[in-house]
Every structure is written in C-alpha cells, then in structure tokens.
Chains A and B, each alone.
Chain A
C-alpha cells in the first residue's frame, strides 16, 4: 500500500493505540505483583478451634481473646453454662465491654447495649452480636 495514501492523523492514531496498549499492559504487569503483595495474607488456621481455659472464665465474668484475628469474648452467665460471642459491635465495629454488675455488654462508642446472649437491649446496633459455636473438653472451652 502506498504510504502516502494513509493520512498522517490515522498513522498517529494507530501509534497512540499501540503505545497506549503497550503502556497499559506494562502497567498491569507491574501492578499485579504489587496488588498481591499488599493483599492481606490468608491465615491457614481459619478452621482451627481456639482453646480458652475454663478457669479464665469465672461465673458472671467475661474473658476477651483473639478469635481468628478478631476480638471475641467467652462468658459464664450461669454455673457451667458458657457463651462465646464476637466482641465487635454490629453498629460501627467498636469492641464492646462487659459490665458484670448489670450483666450486659455496652459499646463505648455509641452506647449500644447487648445482653449476655448478644441480643440488642438498646442503642443503635442493628443486629445481635455474632454467636460463636463452642464445645467443652475437660478444662478447655474450644471456640469455633
């Protein structure tokens, strides 16, 4: 084809597309490792049960611990009866505190209140605290 027959603007457009495509491909190639590098790592023990010693949870008291990277709490509201809950308030993600004299959880951020089973008693939380499954083996409470 006679090169003179192709308008220069069309050739320029073609070059822009080729160069832009190459630049985009290179940027994608460089961005992928950075994205993977920055992604939070997945813990291998996501299915693992977290043990809590029974003696850490006396009657009427709460024990806070790290459950697969998130704050959680075990409490003993009645003798021999244990409850495990996520300690993250369902309103805006603050961590609730246990008030044994009132036997309720209070979120210090916006005053959300929950009972010992995690049910909402008052304040802005839209739903109960997440209940975590637990089993008791000897003197260990296994959460998860």
Chain B
C-alpha cells in the first residue's frame, strides 16, 4: 500500500497525474439522465482494440500471396493452436463493429447530437464509419477464397459505372484489369497499415471533439430545454451530474460485456453464420460461383445498383445519400433536439431505416 502511494507520488510530482485523473474521471460530470446509448463509443473502442490485437496475431501466420494466402488461412484455422479463435474473433468482430457503428450513428441521429457545436464530431464519426467499411472490404479479399475473390470483383466493378473515368478507376483499384496478385498486395497494404493508421488518427480526433465540446445532454425529460449555442467556444458542463468514474464506467463495462458475449456466442456457437460455402474454396479466377453476394452491410448498396435502370443512377443515389448524411449537421441547423418536437425528421428517420432494411432483405433474396 505504501509502495503504491510512493509510486503514485513519484509520478504525480512530475506529471500531475492525480489532477489529470480527477479532471477526466471523478470530476468529469455527465448528465444525470444519460442513457445506455452513450456507451457505444466505449464499446467500439474495445472492439477496435480487439481487431488490432487479433489482426497483429493473424499477421504472424498469414501469407499475402495468391499461391499461399488460402492455405495460410486454412493453417491458422486448422493447425495453429487457437488460430480458429483469433481468426473468428477478427472476422466476426468486424461484423459486430458494423452493428455497433450503425447503432451509434442511429442513436446520435435520433437524439440530434450531431447538431452545433458537434458538427466536427459527427463528420469525423461519419468518416470512421466509412473507413471501417473500407477495412471490411479490403479484409474480405485477404483469405483469397472464391467468396473473397468474386465479392471483390463485383464490389470493385461497381466503380466502372462512373462515366469517362470508370474503367480507369476499376483498373487502379485492382492494380490491373482483373482482381489479381496486385489487388491482394494493395488491399493487404491498405488493410494492415494505411487504413488502420488513418482510423487511429480519426478516432483520436473524434474523442478529442467529444471531450472538448462536452457530452451532449440527452433530449428527454420534462426539464430538458434546447441549449442556447453561443458564438464562441463553450464546453458543455453538467453541474450536479454523475461522475464518469465509477458511475458511468460501470455502465460502459456492462454494455461492453454484453457485446463481447454476443461476439463470443457467434464465435463459439455459429462461427459459419456469415460464411457461405464459397468461403471454404480457394479462389479460382476462371470459375465464378453462383449467387455471389456482398456482406450484409453492403446489401443495400448492391441492391440499389440493381433497382435502377442504369448503375450510374444507382451510384449517384448512393453518393447523394451519403453526402446528405455527412453534411446533415450543416443542413439541419435548428436548435431543437427533442424527437417529439421534430416529427418530420423522426418520420423520415424511421422510413429511411425501414427502406434500408427492406432493400437489404430484398438484396439477400434477389
């Protein structure tokens, strides 16, 4: 006990850690009516850390070469002790991250937390979401299975619908006219280094924005009133609120445990839930398997391209929607955040959600 205190004193004298910890933990007050949706950031941080750890472990045995990639993944799954666990945590964890990201974004949309002064928080979060999807796409090719190969072929081919530059963009993405060794090389580099570095920077900036602007108060309860946003910077304080530590950390940990239980349940009891038969066959550039579909989170985009008479219109609609979503805080500028006072937004929110789910299901069965 004495040694612990002396160690803390040593660091405290030099870095003032006690004050730092107090400011960010025990004296960092959150709104009293804060809810469980606010824990999703901590959940995502945990899941991202699991991805980094399992990704580094997979790099030890994975060989990024078309002749050996599939065999190396087979070896990880069947020969290396607990390789199946590491790989399933990584592959299925990516899907759980997408679920958590969607829930996080939907809750922010519903509670209108993206509004001024949190436009940059939203924008960085939106970029993190897109980067995470990019990581999913690039990671999907690496096992070099029939599913990987042809899903990547279909996904990169969509860019060909862009007028004039389309074919060149496809060639650039693939490093050639078809998915080949060069595609594996560039997707591998992006997946293990380029995108994670960018993601790390963005996550850091996102957390800085959250901490700097202060946690937004949930727009519920009889005492809630839209906040007057001043022209100058002002950290949103919550006097009389609950401390981040230990109160909210306990809630964070509870929801993290829930997500980990969900992830482990799939890893242990349904590891092939998201893997069709073609995921277990090595890539063959001369044989396209029937019914190649993208991952569930890309189904809406896949089906949108099929609904419209030309792929260009489909791409245009997707681009317009994503741009609208990115710029939403700059379009929806009113101070009102209470869902009950924003009937048009809330109706559009649920309708859009319904359309997305319906199109994805349609894409799955089409």
Interface residues of A (CB under 8 A from B): 33-34, 36-39, 41
Q: Are B79 and A33 in contact (CB under 8 A)?
A: no
The distance in angstroms between the C-alpha atoms of A33 and B86, with both chains bound, is 8
20 contacts between A and B (CB under 8 A): A33-B81, A33-B82, A33-B85, A33-B86, A34-B57, A34-B82, A34-B86, A36-B81, A36-B82, A37-B57, A37-B80, A37-B81, A37-B82, A37-B83, A37-B86, A38-B57, A38-B60, A39-B81, A41-B79, A41-B80
Chain A residue at smallest Cβ distance from B260: A26
The majority secondary structure among interface residues of chain A is helix
Compute how far the CA of A37 lies from the CA of B59 in the bound complex, rounded to whole angstroms.
Answer: 12
Complex-state Cα separation, A37 to B60, whole angstroms: 10
Interface of B is mostly: helix
What number of A-B contacts does a CB cutoff of 8 Å give? 20
Q: How far is the CA of A8 from the CA of B80 in the complex (A)?
A: 49
- Chain A residue numbers with a CB within 8 Å of B86 are 33-34, 37
* Shortest Cβ gap from A75 to chain B (Å): 35
Q: Which residues of B contact A41 (CB under 8 A)?
A: 79-80
Q: Other CB < 8 Å A-B pairs besides A34-B57, A36-B81, A37-B57, 17 of them? A: A33-B81, A33-B82, A33-B85, A33-B86, A34-B82, A34-B86, A36-B82, A37-B80, A37-B81, A37-B82, A37-B83, A37-B86, A38-B57, A38-B60, A39-B81, A41-B79, A41-B80
> Whole-angstrom distance between the alpha carbons of A36 and B83 in the complex?
9
Chain A residues, Cβ within 8 Å of B57? 34, 37-38
Closest to B50 in A: A30
Residues in A neighbouring B83, C-beta threshold 8 A: 37
Which residues of A have CB within 8 Å of B80?
37, 41
**Cα(A34)–Cα(B80), bound, Å:** 11
Chain B residues, Cβ within 8 Å of A36: 81-82
Mark B65-101 against chain A: 1 for CB-CB distance below 8 A, else 0. Answer: 0000000000000011111011000000000000000
Query: Closest approach, in angstroms, between the C-beta of A15 and any C-beta of chain B?
Result: 10
Q: Measured between alpha carbons, how far is A39 from B336 in the docked complex, in Å?
A: 58
Q: For B85, what are the chain A residues with a Cβ–Cβ distance below 8 Å?
A: 33
Q: Which 8 A-B pairs have the closest CB atoms?
A: A33-B82, A36-B81, A37-B82, A36-B82, A33-B85, A37-B81, A37-B86, A37-B57
CB nearest neighbor in A for B54: A34
Task: Please report the C-alpha to C-alpha distance between residue A39 and residue B79 in the assembled complex, in whole angstroms.
Answer: 12
Bound Cα distance A36, B84 (Å): 12
B5 to chain A, nearest CB (A): 15
Q: Shortest CB–CB separation between residue A129 and chain B, in angstroms?
A: 32
